[in-house]
Structure 1
């Protein structure tokens, strides 16, 4: 992406104008007479204008500094970029987050994407996006981000830091659906040797997933090394219930561990709703219909609430079907699989075999007809 040209002046004239502007604001500016040092002093002095200057004026000044910064060889740019990032983050904290966000966009796209110090720029961009609740303005595609991280050569800890910052920004901005794969990517970056270091991330991953009203399938979480390190703890037991347990198991767990469930910020009412929906999926199995009476008794739902529960199940997309009011039952066209293990693969293989046989039979009949 090209960055706009901010000022049509020589570097020397541009520096002189910026110095004069800062002096007119009674801001001390050290004049060095050399491009790198002059730009460094401009960045240091510009920190003063964030306090009581209009955002558009700040943006104009810093964009002018950026155009100078891009002239300096990349090999010398790291120190200056670090200084500027710190300034933009402080500015965001002091109420100028939209301005900082725009400037970070220009700074990031002003260099080739493989430039190592863009790691610092991107981290700052995520922090500012969290403050301004504007993560949608930052490129967050995980495939693209992984490519950048490899180019920046930041190692596993650097990668984990970025993914953690991205996850926090996405959660703050209400983008739970995007945050989930980010957290999974973060936990996948740990090995058995260092998985214990991700304990807090693993706990947060589980609690956020269980609390999310639109997340129902949790089997993938059990495969993540940091989560396996929690085995034997109450949270891991609770996760297992959501993966493959039923409403009765959850009720028993809650009665025995009510304080624990409340201490990790989970709502018993929300948990109960989710476990009833998941238990319905198990109750259906491969069945193509179920009566209101069966739902009421098997899931312990009051008769007056059964129809609303069915509508909730259909809206959640765990079940596809329609309500047969005349016969008080649900006609099911499809229901999801809570887990997909060996048994499910074998069932899929059987169905594909049946489909292949049926196709072969049709083909044979068509072939025989063509020879008549």
Structure 2
């Protein structure tokens, strides 16, 4: 079946008539005649049967048809285009098969980029883009990171409810594509959309955020979660107790919790062995904060590992770059030079302030030294 020619330099009405003829030729129940009610009614009817091209068209042909529809759609005044755009998005999310979904993804991306940045419809198109990205495992082609997402909607920010809906979908899609770090960041953004007035309604989102952060093997700074309003509403519940252990307690505290609440940990979809590994890393960070020199025996005891496992564990620690250290196998010790803090409170701010003041003092000393050297050189030149 031949695709209609590329529609260039013809009116939207004639372009719509060409699409009608093409779709009718594919067996769609549509008249070839233009609508007497105008281009918007033409679009409604064309979009209603545009999935006919999915049945017989090749990927390139389908994409061409969809792009033609987009080229007409963007000419409709925005206040009258809402239902047309939503109907088009719904049709494209139901495209059968990977190749046709990819063609639909590209057509929707074209629509998203073609809409005015101030258009509230960009949110709806983007949401459907993520839905198709979920089906095609193409989320990286749509979503870069949270900052980029915010830039996309800077001129017309979605409502809190719309953002919550989008973030929930994004979290699900990112987890599916093994982007756990990005998924955790999205969940934190989701909880940040709640206010003190509605934080109590965010229980499920808060639990999902905590579980996502605990399960993510690359997320170790968990302290900020405790300050989120929806998380604070969980105080007294087991999930909050578990989070608090990961924030500031040691491995033994986790083991005690697990011994008493095995079914709860499992019911949250958390893996005990992975929890153990993460708590060992966190416990070692805690040791390193106050002990620049740690013996292998202390590590073995505190982290409950065998003597032959200590070196392998330390190698894993160094790979995370959470701690800077060097091993002395002969002395059976590890010397730490710096570590990421598990919590960042008043003491850590004071330590940072002291460090910056020290740097400032050193720079001033260098500056004064340079002035002295410069003055001496100038004096020597004058004498010559």
C-alpha change, 1:301 and 1:181, in structure 2 (3 Å) is same
Tell me the CA shift for residue 230 of structure 1: 0.7
List runs of 5+ in structure 2 lacking aligned partners. 380-384
CA RMSD of aligned residues (A): 2.3
Structure-1 residue corresponding to 2:382: none
1:56 aligns with 2:60: yes
1:345: how far off? 1.2
Does the Cα contact within 8 Å between 1:180 and 1:209 map onto a contact in 2?
Answer: yes
Deviation at 1:227, TM superposition (A): 0.7
> What is aligned with 2:27?
26
1:189 to 193, 196, 203: 193
How far apart are 1:224 and its partner, in Å? 0.6
- Of the three residues 200, 205, 210, the one matched with 1:206 is 210
Secondary structure of residue in 2 paired with 1:349: helix
TM-score normalised by structure 1 residue count: 0.91
Deviation at 1:212, TM superposition (A): 1.1
252-261 or 173-182, which deviates more: 173-182
Structure 1 residue 150: Cα displacement = 5.9
| 1:16 maps to 2:43 | no
User: What aligned pairs does 1:1-372 form with structure 2 within 5 A after superposition?
Assistant: 6-11=6-11, 12-30=13-31, 31=33, 32-33=35-36, 34-91=38-95, 96-146=100-150, 148-149=152-153, 151-152=155-156, 154-360=158-364
Distance in 1 of aligned mates of 2:270 and 2:97: 31
1:333 alignment partner, SS class? strand
**CA-to-aligned-CA distance 1:200-249 (integer Å, 9 cap, x gap):** 11111111111111111100100111111111001100000000000111
Q: Distance in 2 between matches of 1:248 and 1:44?
A: 62
**Deviation readout 1:86-130 (Å, 9 max, x if unpaired):** 101111678732111111111111111111212211111111111
1:152, 1:303 → 2: CA distance?
Answer: 59
CA gap of 1:71–1:255, structure 2 versus 1, over 3 A, is same
**Cα 1:25/1:357, change in 2 over 3 Å:** closer
Distance 1:114 1:163 in 2: 21
Corresponding residue SS for 1:113:
coil
Q: CA deviation at 1:331?
A: 2.4
Conserved 8 A contact 2:27-2:52: no
Q: Specify whether residues 207 and 334 from structure 1 end up closer, same or farther in structure 2 by C-alpha distance, changes over 3 A only.
A: same
Query: Is the contact between residue 116 and residue 151 of structure 1 (CA under 8 Å) also seen in structure 2?
Result: no
Per-residue CA shift, 1:322-347, capped at 9, x if unaligned? Answer: 22222222222221111110111122
Say which SS state the counterpart of residue 91 (structure 1) adopts.
coil
Tell whether the 8 Å contact from 2:26 to 2:56 is kept in structure 1 after alignment: no
Retained in 1: the 8 A contact 2:117–2:153?
no
> Secondary structure of the residue that 1:285 maps to in structure 2?
helix
Change (3 A) 1:6 1:179: farther
- Check conservation: 2:202, 2:230, Cα contact below 8 A: yes
Are the structure 2 counterparts of residues 235 and 92 from structure 1 closer, same or farther at C-alpha, using a change threshold of 3 Å? farther
TM-score, normalised to structure 2's length?
0.88
Distance 2:75 2:269 in 1: 51
Q: Determine the C-alpha separation between the residues in 1 that align with 2:362 and 2:347.
A: 23
